[in-house]
Amino acid sequence: MNFENIHIDPLEKKWIYVSLAIAGLFVSILLIDSLFHGIDAPSNVETIDSARLHLSKEFAEDNLGVQVDTNGDITIRMVAGRYTFFPKHITVPADTRLTFRWASMDVLHGVHMPMTNMSTMIVPGYVSEVTTIFPKPGKYPLLCNEYCGLGHDHMWSNVVVVAKEHWQAPAKTQPAGDTNDG
Ligand SMILES: [Cu+2]
């Protein structure tokens, strides 16, 4: 079959080009976001036993929150559970590379910080990791964006982003490289 023999109305042809151009525009926006703005689909694959988080080294209650590793990297560990994030408040520096590590203790949750690129699913059995920089100081809500039950609407924490020079590292520092097979 020869497609060149198919009659396509010139107006229809015009709209085919318009729709191809729109699709091309969307693909290039995705590529530019990914390559230049650091907005990517989360891709960390790391398993953890969600039922035994409290017994794991990394996500045990004492180990949650903001920590500065021995090499100066800042890691924030948080647990999502119906219906809150633990801890409820964190304070982090602006303009600084932050690595968030999340685990769920029950069902599927999501985490979203409006006006930032922080957004990921928290799938039971896996550790979600997001590395980001918050350029502007301010108070940000941290919201669950995956419906997880009747209390879902009340599932949130507070993130306070303070200017780099006003931020104080928490007293406790943790050696990097803890494993989860405890
Ligand atoms: Cu939820």
The Å distance, Cα 127 to ligand 1 centre, comes to: 17
Query: How far apart, in whole angstroms, are the C-alpha atoms of residue 18 and residue 22?
Result: 6
The β-bridge partners of 157 are 142
Q: What is the pLDDT of residues 26-61, one digit of tens each?
A: 999 999 988 887 777 777 788 998 888 888 889 998
Query: How far apart, in whole angstroms, are the C-alpha atoms of residue 93 and residue 97?
Result: 9
What's residue 1's pLDDT?
A: 58
The Å distance, Cα 142 to ligand 1 centre, comes to: 11
Burial profile 25-52: b = 16 or more Cβ within 10 angstroms, e = fewer: eeeeeeeeeeeeeeeeeeeeeeebebee
**pLDDT band, very low/low/confident/very high, at 70 (cuts 50, 70, 90):** confident
Q: Is the pLDDT of residue 175 over 70?
A: no
Q: How far is CA 3 from the centre of its chain?
A: 47
The Å distance, Cα 81 to ligand 1 centre, comes to: 8
Q: pTM value?
A: 0.76
